[in-house]
Structure 1
Amino acid sequence: MIEHNTHHKVVVIGGGYAGTLAANRLRTRADVDITLVNPRPEFVERIRLHQFVAGTGDATIDYGTLLGEGIRLVVDSVTRIDTASRTVRLASGGGLDYDHVIYAVGSTAATPSSVPGAAEFAFDIAEFESAQRLRARLAELPPDAPITVVGGGLTGIETAAELAEQGRTVTLVCGQTLAPYLSGPGRRYIAKWLSRHGVVVLEPAVVSEVRPDAVVLAGDSEVRTSALTIWTAGFGVPKLAAASGLRTDAIGRLLTDETLTSVDDDRIVAAGDAAAPSGQPLRMSGYAAGPLGAQAADTVLSHIAGTEPAMLELAFTGACVSLGRRAGIRQLGRKDDTMVNAYIGGRMGAVIKEVTCKFVVSKRIRGEARKPGSMGWPKGGPRPQQTASAATAVTSP
């Protein structure tokens, strides 16, 4: 569909890795008016929130250093996308008219309501505000107070390691196994590091209740003292898509085709953690966010130009995990995001992780601000065919 307006109004909802990069990349056309809506006045480096909590690093960046010229930043929250009037409704009561929307709302914590006390007494680390609360609570505790981290994934491992390196008493509760995403050798390397630094790893183990000063384990109902419980087991997404009458997958990610275009409205394109292309979402990660943001911007630009958007194509290469400030692991993987039995650990692993974190901001996001359309990414990773179960794992408004 070819547009004939003098200017094309694009609203990007969400100023994380995907949304910020997408906003910058849209500037390849001079006739696009770009508005970025974000609830915070600063960019949050979510991959550094465990450092922020432990006091070993910062996690915010001034948008003025990230956004290209001409992008309007609106500090507000979006309550609804009104597709009939093509208006983004804001929590402040106003609205933004649009020709196209990039839906990049990211992900949130997923503290389960089915676990008594989890919502009331456990802290999460998924967003900046919750990380601020966690940091403040941590500062109130004596150095030897027992801390429980629930979740044996990469976020849980990095959080437990950061605290353990500072001499904190940490227990890591893994639902099934430690670092299930990594290879066997990678898991063993992490387990040895955690053991050397005094972290008690419980696997398999499930928390059935969280109390103000303890956690209860399922099965034998063992009660373990916990002055602070941090919940990192899984992520959810904001419910904006469903609230706007758009179809989503089971947890609320916007259902799209392989060009990241909503199956309900071709003026809405998704990026990042909140996108579910063909009901087969990619792994929630900073690694995928940048390419998905770039692809979303390219799709919108194709819609404006009346050309066929490219299909989603992203090759994964593995994952980086920090283990405190002096060690880490670079797990190597195949293009389809399965792991191989090879990794780089120790000090070099830490260096690679730090370089990767800086690369995402300085080369990808700021690179697109300097030269829109310049970012490339590894391609060739096969997209799995949609299964019958995935096809039905959607919710209707």
Structure 2
Amino acid sequence: MQHRIIVLGAGYAGAVAAGRLARRLRREDVAITLVNAEPDFVERVRMHQLAVGQELRPRPFSEMFAGTGVELRQARVTGVDVGRRTVTVTVTDGGGGTDQLVYDTLVYALGSGWNHQDVPGAAEHAHEIAGRPGALRLRERLAGLGAGESVVVVGGGLTGLEAATEIAEARPDLDVSLAARGELGDWLSAKGRRHLRKVFDKLGITVHEQASVTAVAADRVTTADGRSLPAAVTLWTTGFAVHPIARATALETTGTGQIVVDGTMRSVSHPDVYAIGDAAMVRGPGDKPLRMSCASGTPTAWQAADSIAARLTGGKLPNAPLRYFNQCISLGRKEGLIQYVTADDRAVDAALTGRLAARYKELVCKAAAWGVANPTLGIPTRARGVLREPAAPDPTARAAA
């Protein structure tokens, strides 16, 4: 009897985990099912490019996982019952209807969406680029703007910086501004901050610092200190919120809805469930939570897949540290900023800037997509593990983890 592994969500973390599991385990021993609402892989780190009209290369899962043994189920997850080990889904590939999937091991990788933080008017009037539908809506809206109209990007984090510069470069006729809660790039090194301001000045982006937005209307945003900023379009980039399904289960979650896991990405409350990417509360160096990002998601996918394979085959559990090396920021197509960081994600003095940094960031994006699109390369067949016990995970394994 095959051990049934279900992976929920096929973003960077979920797709990588499914492919790595297929590499680590033999098809005759395991049945791997990857559940995702869309039929192709979405490069989330490029949504700001999609929003300004750039075309992205399609990456159908049917091609990416052809011949791997991974079964693709195009469906939206509507419920998880960790007691009965079942997942309820609604089919999205045209057939419609609901289905119930049974698992022995579950990999939860449903990720996150935009977080409007309950700011009045944000949900009704602001745009978001946390996924393809939002990016396409913003794309249509930007295309309809006339010269001189205003775009306000709310949020001074990585997504906000990339979006503001991409829009300003693609549409120099627009009045683009960014509202940051603190100072522009205040977490970067001095060199990084200087380069960021240089690029913003060159692109004509107005920066509103210490500007916490408290309300969004159809034509403006209001800040906590009473400023009113005209906005024909408001783009909200203040952070992400995890998918709400985990919180509705018996899984132990944090106040933000992230699943609490150990160092192998295994749920501390349900040993047959693993959580990766934005959906997991993972602690790195200094016991600091990893930030929601592709940079965090892919290593957690490796850790989970290798841990599952080791436990099922009697192999050695992985002990690779989860740490950061740099933050890669695109500033349009011609400029970039690579901020080198400590293991726990604090900026150091060193930073790479300019066109070389832009090429570096592009290489990182291509490498991430390549890793997803080539899930079965890298491990020879002889390295695949043979299941020691192709049955449900031992419920007492938590104590030994």
Does the CA-based 8 Å contact 1:207-1:215 persist in structure 2? yes
The correspondence for 1:190, drawn from 187, 196, 205, is: 196
Contact 1:256 1:277 in 2 (8 A): yes
Q: Distance in 1 between matches of 2:379 and 2:33?
A: 16
Following TM superposition, by how much is the alpha carbon of 1:194 offset from its aligned partner in structure 2, in angstroms?
0.4
2:349 to 327, 341, 358: 341
Within 2, Cα distance between the matches of 1:308 and 1:182? 38
- Tell me the alpha carbon deviations over residues 339-389 of structure 1, each in whole angstroms, 9 at most, x when there is no partner: 111111111011001011001122x22443223489xxxxxxxxxxxxxxx
CA distance in 2, matches of 1:281, 1:335: 12
- Asked whether the 8 Å contact 2:220–2:230 carries over to 1, the reply is yes
| Distance in 2 (alpha carbons) for counterparts of 1:49 and 1:373 | 34
User: Are residue 216 (structure 1) and residue 212 (structure 2) matched?
Assistant: no
What corresponds to 1:86 in structure 2? 85
Question: Any unmatched runs of 5+ in structure 1?
Answer: 1-5, 375-397
Q: Give the match for residue 234 of structure 2.
A: 229
Q: Aligned residue for 2:377?
A: 370
Secondary structure at the counterpart of residue 77 of structure 1: strand
Q: 2:131 aligns with which of 127, 130, 135?
A: 127
Distance verdict in 2 for CA 1:136–1:262, change over 3 Å:
same
Cα pair 1:45 1:61 within 8 Å, conserved: no
Q: Distance in 2 between matches of 1:257 and 1:344?
A: 34
CA drift at 1:144:
2.1
3-state DSSP of counterpart to 1:332:
strand
Query: Quick one: distance in 1 between partners of 2:380 and 2:248?
Result: 32
Q: Which residue of 2 aligns with 1:252?
A: 257
Partner amino acid, structure 1, of 2:221:
V
Q: Distance in 2 between matches of 1:23 and 1:162?
A: 32
CA apart distance, 1:263: 1.1
Tell me how far apart the structure 1 counterparts of residues 51 and 379 of structure 2 sit (CA, whole Å).
34
C-alpha separation in 2, matches of 1:57 and 1:344 = 27
Aligned residue for 1:274?
Answer: 279
Secondary structure of 2:238's match? coil
Is the 1:148–1:226 Cα contact (8 Å) retained in structure 2?
Answer: yes
Q: What letter is aligned with 1:303?
A: R
Does the aligned pair in 2 maintain the 1:186–1:329 contact within 8 Å? yes
Q: What's 1:385 paired with?
A: none
Q: Aligned match of 2:25 in 18, 25, 29?
A: 29
1:329 partner letter: L
Alignment check: 8 A CA contact 2:128 2:237 kept: yes
Amino acid corresponding to residue 307 of structure 2 in structure 1? T
> Quick one: which amino acid aligns to residue 29 of structure 1?
L
d(CA) in 2 for partners of 1:257 and 1:12? 18
Give CA-to-partner distance per residue, 1:311-365, whole Å, 9 cap, x none.
4622311111111111111111222322111111111011001011001122x22
2:69 is equivalent to residue 70 of structure 1: yes
Match of 2:101 among 96, 103, 122: 96
| Amino acid aligned to 2:183 | T
Q: 2:35 and 2:273 mapped to 1: Cα distance?
A: 15
Distance 1:356 1:287, change over 3 A: same
Mapped partners of 2:234, 2:5: distance in 1: 41
Amino acid at match of 1:88: V
> How far off its partner does 1:49 sit?
0.3
- Distance in 1, Cα, partners of 2:43 & 2:32: 22
- The reply to whether residue 19 of structure 1 matches residue 14 of structure 2 is yes
SS at match of 1:248: coil
Q: How many residues of Structure 1 are paired with residues of Structure 2 in the alignment?
A: 366
Asked if the contact 1:107–1:274 (Cα under 8 Å) also holds between the matched residues in 2, the reply is: yes
Q: Which amino acid aligns with 1:104?
A: A
Given that residues 48 and 57 in structure 1 are in contact (C-alpha distance below 8 angstroms), is that contact kept between their aligned partners in structure 2? no
Measure the CA separation in 2 of the matches of 1:253 and 1:336.
20
Distance 1:328 1:57, change over 3 A: farther
Aligned residue in 2 for 1:392: none
In the TM superposition, what is the alpha-carbon distance from 1:308 to its structure 2 partner? 5.8
Tell me what 2:389 maps to: none
Whether 2:174 is the aligned partner of 1:148: answer: no
CA distance in structure 1 between the aligned counterparts of 2:313 and 2:49, rounded to whole angstroms: 43
- Are 2:176 and 1:170 equivalent residues in the alignment? yes
- Kept in 2, the 8 Å contact 1:149–1:230? The answer is yes
In structure 1, give the amino acid aligned to 2:367. Answer: F
Cα deviation, 1:109-128, whole Å, max 9, x if unaligned, reads: 11021x21111101111111
Instruction: Find the aligned partners of 1:245 and 1:342 in 2 and give their Cα distance.
Output: 45
Matched residue SS, 2:59: strand
Contact 2:64 2:374 in 1 (8 A): no
Say if 1:242 and 1:216 are closer, same or farther in 2 by CA, change over 3 A.
same
Q: Deviations over 1:274-299 (max 9, x none)?
A: 11136853111111211111111112
- Tell me if structure 2 keeps the 8 A contact 1:45–1:60: no
The 2-side partners of 1:133 and 1:326 are apart by: 25
